[in-house]
Amino acid sequence: MTKFKTLSLSVVLACLPFVVSAADIEKINTDVVVVGSGGTGLSAAASAHQHGAKVLLIEKQAFVGGSSALAGGAIAAGNTNPQKRAGTQNVSDDGFVNIWIKDQDRSFPGADESMPDEARMHKIINEFDKTVNWMEKDIGHKFAVPRPFGYGGPNYAHAPAESPIPASGRGSSPAGGRFVVKAFTTYLDNAGVPIMTGTKAEELITDSKGNVVGVKAMKGKQPIEIRAKAVILGTGGFARNKELLEKFVPSYAPYTDVSNATPGATGDGIIMAQKVGAAGFKDGWVMGISPVSTKRELNNTFRTKNVYKDDVFVNQDGKRFVKEDLPYIVDPIANQKAAWAILDSKDTNKAALLAKYNDPEIVVSGKNWEELAKAMGVPAAQLKATMDQYNQACKDKKDPVFDKNPEFLVPFEQAPFYAVRVIPSTMGTIGGVRTNDKFQVLRADGSVIKPEFGRIYQIKKLSVL
């Protein structure tokens, strides 16, 4: 009986509304409050401090760095001091615009013609060299000798000294971004700029004219109100927010939980800004990385020295749907109901690993194409036709379907055959609220929401992390 009374009392208490009196709210006054501790927030905080402002940085997770700490950490820039010292090939602002546009075309075939915004690109690119030089001289970040990014080009990728881009030119080492984050946090610690982790911004405070004058946040269970002359939103993207993905890029919504972006990437800044009148972009994009297995340990079974170029991918109809030697190929995979990488047993080590599984969500096998198709749940005649045609294309050194480079036409003939289910891995999103050239957030009528705030790439702008 006593036990029941205690239980019912706690249930009643749990149901009571949680009322916060004004006296319970911790009040803080500062010049600049920065929300989010990725590359954007950290660099904004450092720059604001350098310009004499009293700064407070808040971060909702228990640790700093966001997606920036998980990224490769190489920054694209031309005409920098590290390049000059190395006497290495430079790249002009126009060269960058061309690279950017080419990348955009490649990454988002069929994207809105007005994207990317060339004027904005020039504005940002103009800051690239200044950013790298500033990070080196003032922040104390150490750069490796600049090299090309994975897909070639001039020596414009500035990786951290601790994780240089390998001589093979294949990207920077994983998570080099953590060294960028470390450089900024060390700088901010030494400068006495407080970083309040475990503190989630929940709402922007506005005055009677609609100007933003601060942030309401929760520091654990403690409500706080931060009044500031400027609010900087460095809250990252929305790769971990299913609702926003469904709205902007629905084909990626099923992969919200498996994104490589930080769990903090839930679009909070975008939501908060729109609640106080910020204009949003109509479109949003996902930055994809590569096709991956639902079981991490199987990724290398369909990855070769040519990455995915030697592969053949088929969909729920048993048909090829993508030119496999294109880079990334993530969007085409996201657009299928199901996508599979087809393998055979010519590599006995890989086959032995694949044979350990028999699950249509992971990998299935068959002694011939018909049996494999049955296990995949795709039309058997179609899969057999697809693979017969592909194997013939390998012999002819001519791909009649996608005109894939003959160098990557490798036949699949050694039974048993395998199909590994693949999904798109993602690193973040593009899109959010509209800003002007100074990265001030705009209303739909083009007016600036004062004081200046926005998802800025900082006063010094980090171009690529």
In the chain, the N- to C-terminal Cα span, in Å, equals: 61
CB of 106 to ligand FAD, least distance (A): 14
Neighbours of 152 (CB within 10 A): 7
Cα separation, 55 vs 45, whole angstroms = 6
Q: Which is nearer to ligand FAD, 59 or 310 (CB)?
A: 59
| Stretch 49-68: interaction string toward ligand FAD, x if CB under 6 A | ---------xxxx----xxx
Contacts for 216 with CB less than 8 Å, ≥ 6 apart: 201, 202, 203, 204, 205, 223, 224, 225, 226
User: What DSSP character marks residue 61?
Assistant: S
Q: How far is the CB of 250 from ligand FAD (least distance, A)?
A: 21
Q: How far is the CB of 269 from ligand FAD (least distance, A)?
A: 6
78 or 234: CB nearest ligand FAD: 234
Nearer Cβ to ligand FAD (74/279):
74
Closest CA to 224 of 60, 65, 63, 66: 60
CA angle, 249 then 100 then 448, to 5°: 65
Q: Which stretch binds ligand FAD (CB under 6 A): 30-38, 96-104, 344-352, 400-408?
A: 30-38
Of these, 70, 230, 314, 372, which contacts ligand FAD (CB under 6 A)?
A: 70
Give the number of other CB atoms < 10 A from CB of residue 327: 14
339-358: contacts with ligand FAD (CB under 6 A): none
Q: Give CA–CA dist 160/164, Å, rounded.
A: 6
The window from 2-10, 26-34, 39-47, 356-364 that contacts ligand FAD (CB under 6 A) reads 39-47
The CB-of-176 to ligand FAD minimum distance in angstroms stands at 10
| Residue 109 φ/ψ, nearest 5 degrees | -60, 135
Q: How many angstroms separate the CA atoms of 176 and 162, rounded?
A: 7
Site for ligand FAD in 204-263 (CB under 6 A): 234-236, 260-262
**Complex with ligand FAD: residue 56 or 376, whichever CB lies closer:** 56
Residues 414 to 433: which contact ligand FAD by CB under 6 A?
Answer: 427-428
Is 224 or 338 the residue whose CB approaches ligand FAD more closely? 224
C-beta of residue 191 within 8 angstroms of C-beta of residue 46: yes
Identified binder of ligand FAD from the candidate list 201, 224, 232, 312, rule CB under 6 A: 201
Rule CB under 6 A: choose which of 32, 34, 35, 139 binds ligand FAD.
Answer: 35
Residue 101 Cβ vs ligand FAD, minimum distance, rounded to whole Å: 15
CA-CA distance, 392 to 406, in Å (whole number)?
Answer: 12
Q: Is 163 in the site for ligand FAD (CB under 6 A)?
A: no
Task: Provide the strand spans (E) within 267-403.
Answer: 285-293, 313-315, 339-343, 363-366
DSSP state of 167: T
Tell me which residue has tokens 């969500």: 361
Q: Among 30, 32, 40, 134, indicate the residue that binds ligand FAD (CB under 6 A).
A: 40
Q: Is 71 in the site for ligand FAD (CB under 6 A)?
A: yes
Cβ 388 to ligand FAD shortest distance, Å: 38
Any idea what DSSP says for residue 66?
G
Residue 318's φ and ψ, nearest 5 degrees, are: 75, 20
- Count residues binding ligand FAD (CB under 6 A): 33
CB of 99 to ligand FAD, least distance (A): 12
Confirm or reject binding of residue 318 to ligand FAD (CB under 6 A): no
Kindly state the smallest distance separating residue 450's Cβ from ligand FAD, in Å.
Answer: 21
Give the DSSP H/E element, type plus range, for residue 224: strand 222-233
Q: Are 373 and 420 in contact (CB under 8 A)?
A: no
Residues that bind ligand FAD (CB under 6 A): 35-41, 58-61, 66-68, 70-72, 200-201, 234-236, 260-262, 264-265, 268, 287, 427-428, 464-465
